[in-house]
Amino acid sequence: MVGGTGTFGVVTVPQSREEAEDRDAGDPVAALRYEFELADGEPIYLDGNSLGRQPRAAAGRVAAALGEWRTRLVGGWDDWIDLPSTVGDRIGRLVGAAPGQVVVSDSTTVNLFKLGLAALDAGGGGIVGDGEDFPTVRYVLQGLAERTGRPLRWLPTDLDGAALLCLSAVNFRSATLADMAAVTAGAHRAGALVLWDLSHAAGCVPVDLDGSGADLAVGCTYKYLNGGPGAPAWLYVRRELQGLLRQPIWGWWGQRDPFAMADAYDPAPGTARFLAGTPNILGIAAVDAGIDPLLSVGMPALWDKTRALVALLAARVDALLVPLGARLASPADPEGRGGHLAVAHPDSWRTVRTLIDRGQVVGDFRPPDVMRLAPVAAYTRFVDVWDAVDRIASVLASAASGALGDRPAPRRRVT
Ligand SMILES: Cc1ncc(COP(=O)(O)O)c(C=O)c1O
């Protein structure tokens, strides 16, 4: 028996594998799964929050971009020049941003630096970040503090004297979900601008950048946006701030008229000033293909399914893994978490590795002891969640009985 009453929070949880199959049969977005490359008998993939699956359309879209390069050569730029903003606007539809505020550019790390320094240059005061945030966010903030001489404080702290508050809407490890509107309102009362990292939120949880009053945001495209390994990132600057902020990388793509080749830097109006150098057109073509499936059904339908999948996962973790010594390391309240769960166990690393080596389940490991499991609404089924937890439980039970040996699996470069 899983989940007692059959509900977990406000979401009904299947009580058996048959009920999970019924949920799949009635799932309004079930067909989306077939817009992604899938093979029979492959492991259950619960790592789309690290690298999203490849959309079936991606190869054709990248091939079309290669074809334009072949046939149009440099003339292709007449159209490619607009791609950072047209694809940015399409990403904007997934994160509640009206057109003209999102562009595709650089990497998330570089965008954090550009927008973080732009915010600091715009106002005196210190930096506040989250000491539990993804390393690149913490490192960029440390670097900004050293370069500008501004104090850096980690939450929890008050925001008095802060010019910049930077944090993730969904924490990469625990999936803790921030209340973006409340945090932004608090920061504004203290006179700080807020820079959100939406890497684990965009395409997964409903985000309303405009509605929440957000100032600045960045995100990657290779997780829930399915853009592929190292795909270009995106950034958002609220329209009213665009003319007031200057980013630190004065490149020609941020110039008012790049092909005028003017002597002096004169930043373009609008979001173009937050670009730096020549955009990655093949990468943007893949991102465009990656977001199509999400745009076709919209975030509300995806979020309904995500919440139900994560509720089932939480209930199964509670029923099968907690008795084997695991602990939920994500918020228990469905309202307080995003699209994945962190499950802590001393044997997490060996368990994750064993499941991958056996071709059963692909999750990932985050130090010190966390398995991250992400059932992605676009392509994960309820039966996948059901079966994955059975398989994890079986490996954890073997580890406990000594059947996996007593030596930890060696660490890999990518975990
Ligand atoms: C919150 C967050 N920010 C940034 C990144 C990565 O940044 P980049 O794409 O520059 O490597 C990740 C990667 O997982 C992340 O989780």
- CATH number for the domain that contains residue 349: 3.90.1150.10
Q: Do residue 246 and residue 386 come from a single domain?
A: no
Q: Do residue 122 and residue 248 come from a single domain?
A: yes
Residue keyed to tokens 């150098």: 277
Range of the domain at 215: 81-296
Residue 26 pLDDT greater than 90, yes or no: yes
pTM of the full structure: 0.96
**In the listed set 233, 263, 296, which residue is the last one of a domain according to the structure?**
296
Region 335-344: what's the mean pLDDT? 98
Q: Do residue 242 and residue 338 come from a single domain?
A: no
Name the average pLDDT for the chain. 95
CATH number at residue 265: 3.40.640.10
Q: Do residue 249 and residue 118 come from a single domain?
A: yes
Q: How many whole angstroms separate alpha carbon 52 and alpha carbon 232?
A: 14
Choosing from 107, 134, 196 the residue with most ligand 1 atoms within 8 A of its CB, the one to mutate for a pocket test is 134
Choosing from 105, 130, 136, 216 the residue with most ligand 1 atoms within 8 A of its CB, the one to mutate for a pocket test is 136
Q: Do residue 136 and residue 190 come from a single domain?
A: yes
Is residue 88 domain-resident? Answer: yes
Is residue 413 domain-resident? Answer: no
What is the pLDDT, as a whole number, of residue 151? 98
What is the pLDDT, as a whole number, of residue 167? 97
Nearest CA to ligand 1 atom 9: 108
The 10 Å CB-count burial string (b at 16+, else e) for 353-392 is: bbbbeeebbbbbbbeebbbbbbbbbbbbbbbbbbbbbebb
Residue 4 pLDDT greater than 50, yes or no: no
Is residue 332 domain-resident? Answer: yes
Q: How many whole angstroms separate alpha carbon 273 and alpha carbon 353?
A: 44
Q: Do residue 316 and residue 182 come from a single domain?
A: no
Tens-place pLDDT, residues 349-403: 999 999 999 999 999 999 999 999 999 999 999 999 999 999 999 999 988 887 7
Residue keyed to tokens 């594998």: 17
Q: Do residue 131 and residue 90 come from a single domain?
A: yes
Distance 242 CA to ligand 1 centre (A): 24
**In the listed set 231, 263, 296, which residue is the last one of a domain according to the structure?**
296
Closest alpha carbon to 355 in 400, 390, 392: 392
173 counts as catalytic:
no
220 in ligand 1 pocket by Cβ < 6 Å? yes
What is the pLDDT, as a whole number, of residue 399? 81
Is residue 414 domain-resident? Answer: no
Is residue 72 domain-resident? Answer: no
Q: Do residue 288 and residue 325 come from a single domain?
A: no
What is the pLDDT, as a whole number, of residue 400? 81
Q: How many whole angstroms separate alpha carbon 335 and alpha carbon 395?
A: 30
Residue 1 pLDDT greater than 60, yes or no: no
Task: Quickly state the pLDDT bin for 5 (edges 50, 70, 90).
Answer: very low
Tell me how many domains the chain contains.
2
Residue 347 pLDDT greater than 90, yes or no: yes
271 in ligand 1 pocket by Cβ < 6 Å? no
Q: Do residue 193 and residue 319 come from a single domain?
A: no
- One-letter amino acid at 289 equals A
What is the pLDDT, as a whole number, of residue 2? 27
Choosing from 47, 132, 141, 220 the residue with most ligand 1 atoms within 8 A of its CB, the one to mutate for a pocket test is 220
Given the residues 90, 153, 223, 238, select the one marked as catalytic: 223
Q: How many whole angstroms separate alpha carbon 217 and alpha carbon 271?
A: 12
Q: How many whole angstroms separate alpha carbon 156 and alpha carbon 370?
A: 23
Distance 222 CA to ligand 1 centre (A): 9
305 counts as catalytic:
no
Distance 229 CA to ligand 1 centre (A): 12
What is the pLDDT, as a whole number, of residue 405? 74
Region 141-170: what's the mean pLDDT? 97
222 counts as catalytic:
yes
What is the pLDDT, as a whole number, of residue 411? 73
Tokens of 340: 């994945």
223 counts as catalytic:
yes
168 in ligand 1 pocket by Cβ < 6 Å? yes
Distance 109 CA to ligand 1 centre (A): 7
Given the residues 172, 222, 274, 382, select the one marked as catalytic: 222
Pairing of β 193-197 and β 162-168: parallel
Contact present, 127 and 151 (Cβ < 8 Å) = yes
